Structure 1
Amino acid sequence: MIPATLYGHLLGDAYRRLPQRVAMLHARDGRRRYVGEVEVRRGASPLSRLCAWATRLPPAGAGPIHVDIDADRHGERWIRHVAGHAMPSRLRAHAGRLRERLGLVTFDFDLHVDAGQLRWSVAAVHVFGLPLPRGWFEGVEAIESERDGRYRFDVRATLPFAGLLVHYTGWLDVD
């Protein structure tokens, strides 16, 4: 059964191919909290630091993470808590894509289920409502998967002229 949630709506029949823990995380409405571990690497260039600030990316380091998700029929609000830093975002459907507002930047993602993974790839990016060249964001990708009975995430963002903005990987307990 495909849930009547944001991801169920966007993925349609592909939702059935999600790994169990990924499907569980995206099948629930209401408020919930997931806890786990994360490792964050950050870029060091001045432009990288400015971009990371504009999108409220987490600081470098390794340790606990907790993610608060509040989902309803209009979308989801995520707040990722890493090392005392909150990284909020708002997700909703827009023109058949997943739209995420992260700080000053709005991303539109195409979602693909492939080889037991949910992949997010950038389709469009706007800052203050102004479109940016999509080609600048070919180094931005998120992957959700399951391994050892845990929900796993791997998020990487690199930009031309800035280099690495962030690469964070880890797991959450999803039961």
Structure 2
Amino acid sequence: MNTAVINWFGPSFSELNPLLQHLHTQGAKLYGEVETRFGSGVAGWIGRRMAHKLGAPTTAGKVPFSVDIHHSPEKLTWSRTFARTHTVTSEFQPVKTYQQSGYWVESTGPVKIHLGVSTEGGNWQWLQQYVSLFRIPIPTIFRPRVSAGKAVVNGLYQFEVKISLPVLGLIFGYSDTLKKDDGKMID
């Protein structure tokens, strides 16, 4: 099946780690635990409010986590479930192609983020380019900075997501390693 990811990357799809290639041709449900964290002071307060609005946990620490990854020729969909109760769904729409300096538009509720991609070392690192809320561009000085990526380490899917604000630093983040739903390493 041709997926949006395969179509967008074209021949550069082979630059990804073979296990990430498999993940983005078949889709999967990954599970495990994530470590959630928040900034301190005002940054932590903002991070907890943002996490609450997204449906993510508002306390730091390890929580059960799963992500359902679905593909179609038009888009990539991730449904992340924190603590078996809070689900955050994002749709990723490709724009142009990797060879054309294209990007992906992640939509999570009223937030849209334009994300380029780096495949250094066979990993997938999102490169934030633009953020809007209710279709209104957020000026750079107020724009949350999203750092996110995925890699395969020792046969496990490893990822990290960090959201920070200028001056305040980290407001919310989560990271760890996940296994495929069948309990086996990604293969």
Which TM-score band (shorter chain)? 0.7 to 0.9
TM-score, normalised by the number of residues in structure 1 = 0.84
In structure 2, relative to structure 1, the CA distance for the partners of 1:160 and 1:53 (3 Å cut) is farther
SS at match of 2:112: strand
Q: Which residue of 2 aligns with 1:50?
A: 49
1:36/1:171 contact within 8 Å kept:
yes
Q: TM-score, normalised by structure 2?
A: 0.79
- 2:104 and 2:114 mapped to 1: Cα distance? 6
8 Å contact from structure 1 (residues 11, 111) kept in 2: no
Q: Which residue of 2 aligns with 1:28?
A: 26
1:113-137 Cα offsets, whole Å, 9 max, x none, are: 0023211011111100011134655
Give the conservation status (yes or no) of the 8 Å contact 2:5–2:76. Answer: no
- Where do residues 42-121 of structure 1 align in structure 2 (5 Å cutoff)? 42-44=38-40, 45=42, 46-59=45-58, 60-83=60-83, 84-95=85-96, 96-121=102-127
User: What residue is the counterpart of 2:182 in the other structure?
Assistant: none
4+ runs deviating over 6 angstroms = none
Cα deviation per residue 1:39-82 (whole Å; 9 max; x = unaligned)? Answer: 11123523333333444444432132111223212212211111
Q: Which moved more, 1:55-64 or 1:147-156?
A: 55-64
| Rounded Cα–Cα distance in structure 2 between residues aligned with 1:99 and 1:35 | 25
Corresponding residue SS for 2:25: coil
Report the RMSD for the aligned CA atoms in angstroms: 2.3
Q: Secondary structure at the match of 2:19?
A: helix
Unmatched segments (≥5 aa) in structure 1: none
Structure 2 counterpart of 1:153, one-letter code: F
Larger radius of gyration: 2
Give identity over the alignment, percent.
Answer: 28
Q: Could you tell me whether the CA contact under 8 Å between 2:131 and 2:137 is conserved in 1? A: yes
- Measure the CA separation in 2 of the matches of 1:35 and 1:48: 24
Distance 1:57 1:103, change over 3 A: farther
Q: Which amino acid aligns with 2:29?
A: R
Moved more, 160-169 or 145-154: 160-169
Q: After TM superposition, give the deviation of residue 35 of structure 1 in Å.
A: 1.6
Long gaps (5+) in structure 2: 97-101, 180-185
Q: Which has the higher helix share?
A: 2
Secondary structure at the residue paired with 1:121?
strand
- Please give the alpha-carbon distance, in whole angstroms, between the structure 2 residues aligned to 1:86 and 1:168: 14
